Structure formats: C-alpha cells, structure tokens
Amino acid sequence: MLFREAQLADIPALFDVRYSVTENVLRNRALVTVADTEDYLTRRGKGWVCVVHGQIVGFAIADLQDHSIWALFLRPELVGQGIGKRLHRLMLNWYFAQTSETLWLSTGFGTRAEEFYRRQGWRETGRTASGEVRFEITKEEWQSQPTDFS
C-alpha cells in the first residue's frame, strides 16, 4: 500500500472510488463535479490517496476554507484493512498543522462511517437538515487520540 498526496491526474480514479461505495451513496452525480474536486485539491484544501497494485482504492480530502472533511471514501471490498484510518490520520495531521479551527463533517446515520468517526474521537453535535449525523473534533481532541493504525 502506498499513501501519497492526491494529484489532479487522480481525479478520474477518485470518482471511480466515490461511485463504488455502498453507503453514503452520491445519488445525484451532478452535485460533485471535476471542477469542484480540482478546487478542493488545489485551492480549498488538500487530498490523499491510497494506491494498491497501481490502483487508487481510497481517498480523503480536507477543506481548510470551510473547516470540514469534504471526502473520505474507500472501495467497499477494502473496508476494515486500516486504509481509512491511515487516510484519516494523514488528513487530520495536515489540517491541524495548518490551523487550530475546529473541524466538522457529516455522514449518514447508522452507517459504518458514523461508527468509524466515533472510534476516531469525533463528537456528535447534532443532525444536518438532511438528517445526517454532524460531528466535530478540536485540535486538542485530535492530539489526544492514539496514533496506531490497528
């Protein structure tokens, strides 16, 4: 497994991963464009990918402008192998090296992602208008988390 910063040339593979998920499915694909993804990777924040046998199998993107996690997705067949945890750690370490602003995200209620974020130390702060679970984490909360990848 290789973890590295995402590049603009990776965008088609990011969409392949995003469309492969079985939870938090993007029902309207027009809502997330190549231009949006370029903006998040170059101006708004930064992204990382995991490559296995030459194929991108997961990615994560942090939004420094909105102080949020824009994306963290893996191919479903690779869930549970530590890839998401490693991408999450790379992303949050970078984010909190840039700012001390509280970070937030939302995810589907009752999903594996919801439980994943709870295990990573995120605090539930309510629900979004669409019913997703809203989480936050502070720099101090993040720094108090264990650093293992198990």
Residue 150 lies in a domain: no
Q: Of 20-29, 41-50, 70-79, 119-128, which gets the smallest average pLDDT?
A: 20-29
Quote the number of domains for the chain: 1
Q: With beta carbons less than 8 A apart as the criterion, state whether 11 and 38 touch.
A: yes
What residues contact 87, with CB distance under 8 A and at least 6 apart? 3, 48, 49, 50, 58, 59, 60, 72, 74
What DSSP designation does 23 have? S
* Residue 113, in any domain of the structure: yes
Full residue range of the structural domain in which residue 91 is found: 2-143
pLDDT, position 39:
95
Which has more pLDDT, 21 or 92? 92
Is residue 149 in some structural domain?
A: no
Output the average pLDDT for the chain: 91
Residue 61 has pLDDT above 90, yes or no: yes
Which CATH number belongs to the domain containing residue 93 in this structure?
Answer: 3.40.630.30
Residues found in the chain: 150
d(CA 22, CA 24): 7
Residue 23, in any domain of the structure: yes
Q: Could you tell me the pLDDT band of residue 148, with boundaries at 50, 70 and 90?
A: low
Q: What percent of the chain has pLDDT over 90?
A: 75
Q: Is 47 contained in some domain?
A: yes
Q: Is the pLDDT of residue 120 over 70?
A: yes
